[in-house]
Structure 1
Amino acid sequence: MPAVLYERFENIAVITLNRPEALNAINEQLSQELYAAWERFMAEDDAYVAVLTGAGRAFCAGADMKEAAEAARTGQPMRIRPMFPANEITKPAIAAVNGACAGGGVGYALACDIILCSETAQFVLPFVARGRGGAPIAIELARRTSFSTALYAALTAARIDAATALRLGIVNEVLPPDDLMPRAMELAEKIAGHSQLSVRSMKANLRSAMELGFHEAIRAAAERDRLLHQSEDTREGTLAFDEKRRPRYGAPGSDREQA
């Protein structure tokens, strides 16, 4: 049985962690298949937005501790493929956290641009409690929220409920369980309806603000905007506004990059 499902709904890709019997815990198979799913999403020109969620009652319980324990007994390390680099997911991604989200599962959610969660969701960074490393995830949490939030989550290994996660800025919205995926798809459809050249440029600009110095980020953003303003999408968006109609954006590609 596949550990990760990849489904397409028009321009939206839904990626589902599919080990519900193990709370979608990360093992070699899941890590390999999730990496491949992100590669597929990035390779499909007509896939504009991804939604990442989990099957069953959990989003992702982190590392499969049964396999980790066996690896500890035998001295053979788990062959877990590293997460697909978040800075290489240049298209928009939404996490729909439907339940428990721990350890590496938090990393999977943080790789997405927008994080929605159900009222039943809980977040935990259990690394210090288990004598394990998880610094990249804690660092990404600090970048996305605050230094104090990341320290609290990483040093206490406390469970953070959905309401607290919203207050701390870990998630963007909290929803009843039955409303989670419909809302995720609603947002995905809204984003997919915009100019994808503009969407990807905006995402790149905001990531630059996190990764570069202020002046360097501004210069990079100005260059992206200069190129964007020469595109067919800018022309179409301007004319559509003036003519009081919905814009008709095409798929991103070289044929749309110049007006």
Structure 2
Amino acid sequence: MAYENIIFEKEDNIAVVTFNRPEAMNALNNQTRAEFGEAVREVEADDDIRVLILTGSGKAFVAGSDIKEFHATTPYAAHNIVRLGSIVEKLAKPVIAAVNGFCLGGGCEIAMGCDLIIASEKAKFGQPEINLGIIPGGGGTQRLQRLVGMCRAKELIFTGDIIRAEEAERIGLVNRVVAMDELMPTAREVAAKIAVKSPAALKLAKQAINKGAQMSLQDGLDYEYEMYALALSLEDKAEGVNAFLEKRAAKFVGR
């Protein structure tokens, strides 16, 4: 598919999707949402792609929703808006957010739906929806509190404050902060490290973590054991054990 508002690249086993409306700070309009959803489906369908990296062009990762379109959004229409954070969270493959700049509102919600967040020292995070007289609607109230705790989430959502990358790392919102010129090399390095692992085991691990987070501890432990039992039946498990015993690199096939 030809994209206008995103750039889709693939190199080896890694795909990179770049939000590309720099003149609008990569704000999410309807076309961008549709293109992003299609790109994620393309990643899902391509067995050669094992890790997805998301980033933005210009000074922003994604600076939120396009207010020009959002102005006309009605309560009914809101139910039909695709929650992009949920799309990446449900993707069976690992997703890394490489946050280069402003990561606000819907952009922050997308990043929080990813499995890892690597931020440049110039990145800024926030859920400023309260300043428009609304609340986060793409997962912000739920994912933020699970990442940084309820009290900190309430403070950020109630005040609409925007925080720097170092503070985001301190409170557990991002995995690490790097210099701007090291952002994509670092994201690719982490992606490459993950890409050589078993795709099937990564899928099971992601399911165990994400679904278990929504359960009680005991239910989560039980679900983890179900995923562990499935992992023991994989071809990749046999390959991993044999490779370890034979002192060679494993060649996982994803089954």
Q: Normalised by the size of structure 2, how large is the TM-score?
A: 0.92
Structure 2 gaps of 5+ residues are: none
Q: In 2, are the aligned partners of 1:32 and 1:80 still within 8 Å (CA)? A: no
Q: Provide the C-alpha distance between the structure 2 equivalents of 1:68 and 1:234, rounded to a whole number of angstroms.
A: 48
Q: Provide the C-alpha distance between the structure 2 equivalents of 1:181 and 1:87, rounded to a whole number of angstroms.
A: 21
Matched, 1:105 2:107: yes
Matched, 1:19 2:43: no
The AA in structure 1 aligned to 2:38 is A
Q: 1:76 to 1:224 in 2, by over 3 A?
A: closer
Structure 1 gaps of 5+ residues are: none
**Cα offsets for 1:157-214 (capped at 9, x unmatched):** 1110011000010000101101000100111111001111111111111112211222
Secondary structure of 1:211 counterpart: coil
Matched, 1:140 2:143: yes
Q: Structure 1 residue 247: deviation in Å?
A: 1.0
Secondary structure of 1:85 counterpart: helix
**Cα offsets for 1:109-146 (capped at 9, x unmatched):** 01100000100011111111111231521211111221
Worse overlay, 225-234 or 105-114: 225-234
Worse overlay, 5-14 or 177-186: 5-14
C-alpha RMSD of the superposition: 2.0
After TM superposition, the structure 1 = structure 2 runs for residues 1-259 of structure 1, keeping only pairs within 5 Å, are 2-69=4-71, 71=72, 80-83=81-84, 84-135=86-137, 136-250=139-253, 252=254, 256=255
Q: Provide the C-alpha distance between the structure 1 equivalents of 2:158 and 2:141, rounded to a whole number of angstroms.
A: 10
Q: Provide the C-alpha distance between the structure 1 equivalents of 2:18 and 2:227, rounded to a whole number of angstroms.
A: 33
Q: Structure 1 residue 243: deviation in Å?
A: 1.6
Q: In 2, are the aligned partners of 1:198 and 1:228 still within 8 Å (CA)? A: yes
Q: In 2, are the aligned partners of 1:28 and 1:81 still within 8 Å (CA)? A: no
Taking only the aligned residue pairs, the percentage that are identical comes to: 37
> Across the two proteins, how many residue pairs are aligned to each other?
250
Q: Provide the C-alpha distance between the structure 2 equivalents of 1:94 and 1:32, rounded to a whole number of angstroms.
A: 20
Q: Normalised by the size of structure 1, how large is the TM-score?
A: 0.90
Q: In 2, are the aligned partners of 1:7 and 1:14 still within 8 Å (CA)? A: yes
